[in-house]
Amino acid sequence: MYTRDSFGSFYPIDSMIHRLNPIIKLINFVIVLLTILYTNSIYIVSFILVFLLFIIIESKVPLKYYFNTFYSFRYLYVIIAIICAYNGIVFNTYLVYVFKIIIFFEYINVLSYTTSPSETIFAIDKFLSLFNFLYLNVNIFAYKINSILRYHPLYINTKYNLIKSSESRGITYNRLSIVKKIKLYLNSIRLTKYESNLIMNESKFRLFDINKKRTNYRTNKISYYDIIFLVFHILVLYASLKEGGKLWDI
């Protein structure tokens, strides 16, 4: 069952990362996304990963939640390693690819664990409003984007519960055949979709209407730490652009 303490859900605890402005956190995520898409520097990507580890520790969310996401991509790491070895790609480039995957999904986890769903929708709504030249109802898009960002953590939690349920009945996951493992993955996807609909229905029961603009009753003041984090992310993006040299040689 989906709970507030499950993987990918908001973890209610007081921390410096929880207190950051949700809009600034979303902007920082976009900056990090642009940075890892642009740069192939092992130094910049490693620096972002180390800083992300600092954010994870400061969030005070149990590390096992973050590790669960990291562990779920173990087969992808192996596949990338095989492809790199086959194409003669050096080990540093392989690390860049893996680090980018880790940064992307763990940063999404940070947003999920430290920002409530309503605040996430509010931040996405305000961010999209900056580009809403046609005056569309961006709140619907904000809700959809929020669901997409939380889908993978919710899927991990569903699969985890299925495996534990099977083991409680004496069925060991590692001893399952490939066909049964595929069925388990398909059932996880089906149940994840079902639980996602339950979350949407729960929001409706709380009188949350995606067709109307949301009033934010919480005061989201931009603090001193928000400015520091934002400036730091901008500097990292600047360093990646300068290192690449593509925009500076024009």
Q: If pLDDT is split at 50, 70 and 90, which confidence band does 55 have?
A: very high
In a domain, 10, yes or no: no
Cα 23 from Cα 120, distance rounded (Å): 8
In angstroms, the CA 107 to CA 30 distance is: 10
Q: Which has the minimum average pLDDT: 75-84, 99-108, 153-162, 231-240?
A: 153-162
CB environment 9-39: b (16+ within 10 A), e (fewer): bbbeeebebbebbbbbbbbbbebbeebbebb
Asked whether residue 35 is domain-assigned, the answer is: yes
- Mean pLDDT calculated for residue range 63-83: 88
Looking at the domain assignment, is residue 156 inside a domain? yes
The answer to the question of residue 185 being in a domain is yes
Residue 118 lies in a domain: yes
pLDDT tens sequence across 145-161: 666 666 666 666 676 67
| Phi (first) and psi of residue 132, to 5 degrees | -90, 75
The structural domain count of the chain equals 1
For residue 56, the enclosing domain spans 22-244
- pLDDT confidence band for 33 (50 / 70 / 90): very high
Q: Encode pLDDT of 56-65 as tens digits.
A: 999 999 998 8
What are 123-153's pLDDT values in tens digits? Answer: 777 777 766 665 656 566 656 666 666 666 6
Instruction: Establish if 13 belongs to a structural domain.
Output: no
